[in-house]
Amino acid sequence: MINITLPDGSVKQVTKGNTALDIARQISEGFARNVLAAKVNGKVVNATQPIEQDAELQLLTWNDQEGKATLWHSSAHLMAEAIELLYPSVKFGIGPNIENGFYYDIDFGDYDISEKDFPKIEKKILELAREKQQFVRKEVSKADALAYFKQKGDEYKLELIEDLEDGEITFYESGHFTDLCRGPHIPNTGFIKAVKLMKVAGAYWRGDESRKQLTRIYGITFPKNKELTEYLELLEEAKKRDHRVLGKELELFTFSQNVGLGLPLWLPKGAQLRELLEQYLKKVQKAAGYQPVITPHIGNVNLYKTSGHYQKYGEESFKTIKTPVEGEEFFLKPMNCPHHCEIYKSSPHSYKELPIRYAEFGTVYRYEQSGELHGLTRVRGFTQDDAHIFCTPDQIKTEFNSVIDIIEKIFTALDFNDVIIQISLRDADHLEKYIGSDENWEKAEKAITEVAKERHLNTITKYGEAAFYGPKMDFIVRDAIGRKWQLGTIQVDYNLPERFDLAYVGADNEKHRPVMIHRAPFGSMERFVAVLIEHCAGNFPLWLTPTQAIILPISEKYTAYAKKVLNLLTNLDVRAEIDDRNEKTGRKIRDAEMKKIPYMLIVGEKEEDSEAVSVRKHKEGDTGVMSIEAFAEKVNNEVNDLMNIN
RNA sequence: GCCAGCAUAGCUCAGUUGGCCAGAGCAGCUGAUUUGUAAUCAGCCGGUCGGGGGUUCGAAUCCCUCUGCUGGCUCCA
């Protein structure tokens, strides 16, 4: 007998060699039917694997993320089996589970697979699922593994096996399909009850642009049909939040082929919203000791040769601008930092002045690959809420902390609570990608990790994600359909001060090198507004919404009074407009509701007589009559409450 | 840049196996109505069916090509 400790702390005595599934059956038959995998001593394994000694055991079902992951991983195998039966000449790359479902990278040879093939494949998958095929684990030697895929003619698997150690290679066999796989898997394919193939996409083999492109098929499966329906409904809902859809509906921004790809045009309402965000940040920054600076959109190409940006990105950027002077070239600025370095250099600095914080809403231009452009989140011309802090090495931590304060303040004010904080460090295997001395890199990386630790930030660390000049801390937020976008960023940089030969005179009367911190709490105004739109589904907080109130006169008889109300509200700092169309009140209300305007002010005979407005709140309805001044005060109080979050 | 799909009026979409002057709703304009908490009625305007080339007696529909958009891949200072 062995002792099995369950998550609730209870200990169960079972016969040695029992599987997790056996133990589940002892708890209840019904429960056992939902067990997809098991976690033994913290490691996810097959539920069918015998347990040979005392262990902690967690039975994983669809309610556990790891249970879902196991089902989806097995689903990738099942899809591969279905595809191999339908298209026998295919070769397989890799087929992992992902956040929502799974994919398999497949070489279809000459066959052009498209979404038209999906129904056929889905049908086959369900057919095979109903066979309740067992997933059988097999340990194989490297030689046997290579021999198997050699006779099968699958060069991708061969390449994967080459990188593996003999003795650690396992195959999984289910039905007619055998795959190189570490596992674990669900007990049998019968758990898969609903399947939806989502999309086909090209994907380079091993993520390498220079290698062959395979066809990636994304899919998702569920243990119940109802769950699939719910998932698809969720996706439909998310689509309505898409900032490209709302941006059009709410008249915030547009694009024009005549202007160019990835070059957004801000409409009056969008510009209004963006200006309010900028004003808010300017206020916060002023209080934090930032000084505004302004620099031009272009700079001499030599400036970017000094900074290193030209060598790194010049070839894949907008080409330089030539002038009538032979040999003179200008570069559209891709970054504001070189300009700010020159501002720093315009006068000598004492340690007493530091830190110096230059802030600028600087518009930059980057030639992003055409396939990468996406609404406002990935564009070719955008405005960074940029600032560069020049400080002594001793001041890094304090400054870094005060930047995090600003970012947290903004994210709180806008109710962004699902934020991933990522620390991006160098990739130790490719140090040639980075500029600057090892010593400086280590200092900078240490500063960031220490601050994160001291503040108890919930961070993830990614190696190889650093900028080429320094490590960074990024604040990442999800959009409506779960895609992740980097918003705020803080980067420590020892390199530009070196390249620009920046200096300050220390207390010892010697010259010292300052450290630079690049930081942008919003990241880019374009991307931030995009994510904001999706975050609040177009229902902007009162302090940001372009139109706070719309005045709806009952009939044309009351237009004069409506105008009077508008004047008063405007003078009292309320952003209002009038709907004086010759329409019925119900209609005007409906339109205002759809435009997501927070307050509707209905005015007719009653209101005109008493110098009042009837207040209807968006999504809530009639809230009663109040005087114009009282309404303005209410709005202003609400705005101040929202903006003064500490 | 690569793979796949899509492109019909300002917007959302119909348009059968190629076949009468290409349709609807919304928006816009004009008129009637003078409206009280989510759509008043009527009329009008609006499209070289993304651009170019081809097949055909005949193309929105089939083929080629370019451009743009969408979803991925790669990239993201």
The distance (Å) linking the CA of A162 with the C1' of B9 is: 60
Looking at A41, A61, A81, the residue that finishes a domain is A61
Give the per-residue pLDDT at A109: 87
Asked if residue A99 and residue A51 are part of one domain, the reply reads no
Question: What is the CATH classification number for the domain harbouring A592?
Answer: 3.40.50.800
> What is the domain-level CATH number for residue A124?
3.30.980.10
- The answer to whether residues A340 and A324 belong to one domain is no
CA of A257 to C1' of B9 (A): 19
> Do A270 and A544 contact (CB within 8 A), yes or no?
no
**Do A593 and A626 reside in the same domain of the chain?**
yes
Domain stop point among A42, A61, A80: A61
Residue nearest to nucleotide B69 (CA to C1'): A374
| DSSP letters for A422-437 | EEEE--GGGGGG--S-
How far apart are alpha carbons A416 and A410 in whole angstroms?
9
For residue A55, tell me if it sits in a domain. yes
- Give the integer Cα–Cα distance in Å for A491 and A519: 6
Catalytic status, residue A22: no
**pLDDT, position A645:** 53
Residues 6+ apart with CB under 8 A from A360: A292, A293, A294, A295, A336, A340, A386, A387
Residue A519 covered by a domain: yes
Radius of gyration of chain A (CA): 30
Does the active-site annotation cover A472?
Answer: yes
Nearest nucleotide (C1') to the CA of residue A601? B37
Query: A250 φ, ψ to 5°?
Result: -95, 10
Q: With contact defined as beta carbons under 8 Å apart, do A519 and A535 qualify?
A: no
Residue A114, nucleotide of least CA–C1' distance: B4
Q: Which nucleotide has the shortest C1'-to-CA distance from A261?
A: B68
Q: In the Cβ-directed half-sphere of A636, how many Cα atoms lie within 13 Å?
A: 12
| A374 and A481 together in one domain | yes
Distance A93 CA to B73 C1' (A): 14
Q: Alpha-carbon distance A498 to A496, whole Å?
A: 5
On whether both A391 and A280 belong to a single domain, the answer is yes
Are A200 and A51 found together in one domain? no
Beta-carbon contacts of A109 under 8 Å, excluding residues fewer than 6 positions away, are A89, A90, A91
Nearest to A599 by CA among A626, A560, A568: A626
Residue A637 lies in a domain: yes
State whether A456 and A352 are in the same domain: yes
Strand B positions with any atom < 7 Å from protein CB? 1-5, 11-12, 28, 32-40, 67-77
A518 is catalytic: yes
The two structure tokens encoding residue A413: 């004010």
Own/partner pairs, A222-227, CB within 8 angstroms, 24+ separation: A222/A192, A222/A193, A222/A194, A222/A195, A223/A34, A223/A62, A223/A71, A223/A191, A223/A192, A223/A193, A223/A194, A224/A193, A224/A194, A225/A193, A225/A194, A227/A194
Q: What is the CATH number of the domain that holds A439?
A: 3.30.930.10
Going from the first residue of chain A to its last (646 residues), give the mean pLDDT of each consecutive group of 10, the final group possibly shorter.
90 91 91 93 93 92 95 97 94 95 93 87 95 94 95 94 92 94 94 95 94 95 94 88 93 91 94 96 96 97 94 89 94 96 97 97 95 94 97 93 95 89 90 84 90 94 90 91 89 93 96 96 96 94 96 95 97 96 95 96 96 96 96 95 68
**A30, part of any domain:** yes
Q: How far is the CA of A549 from the C1' of B65 (A)?
A: 51
* A384 carries an active-site annotation: yes
* A543 within domain boundaries: no
Same domain, A392 and A520: yes
| DSSP codes, A559-595 | HHHHHHHHHHHHHTT--EEE--SS--HHHHHHHHHHT
Please check whether residues A325 and A311 belong to one and the same domain.
yes
Q: Is A388 annotated in the active site? A: yes
> Which of A518, A588, A596, A616 is flagged as catalytic?
A518
Structural domain contains residue A241: no
Look up the domain containing A152 and give its range. 66-235
Report the complex ipTM.
Answer: 0.94
Q: Is residue A318 part of a domain?
A: yes
Query: What CATH number does the domain containing A28 carry?
Result: 3.10.20.30
A462 and A530 share one domain:
yes
Contact criterion met (CB below 8 Å) for A462 and A423: yes
CA closest to C1' of B1 belongs to: A369
Catalytic residue among A185, A472, A596, A616: A472
In a domain, A248, yes or no: no
**A612: nt with nearest C1' to CA:** B36
Q: Detail the DSSP E strand segments found in A51-141.
A: 55-60, 91-92, 97-98, 101-107, 136-139
Q: What is the total count of domains within chain A? A: 5
Q: Which nucleotide's C1' atom has the smallest distance to the CA of A210?
A: B74
pLDDT at A644: 67
Picking from A306, A332, A358, the residue at the C-terminal end of a domain is: A332
Q: How far is the CA of A584 from the C1' of B33 (A)?
A: 10
- A260 and A157 in a common domain: no
Distance A113 CA to B55 C1' (A): 27
Asked whether residue A33 falls in the same domain as residue A101, the answer is: no
Please state, in angstroms and rounded to a whole number, the distance separating the CA atoms of residues A65 and A73: 12
Beta-carbon contacts of A468 under 8 Å, excluding residues fewer than 6 positions away, are: A308, A312, A433, A434, A435
> In the numeric block, which tokens belong to residue A370?
């055409």
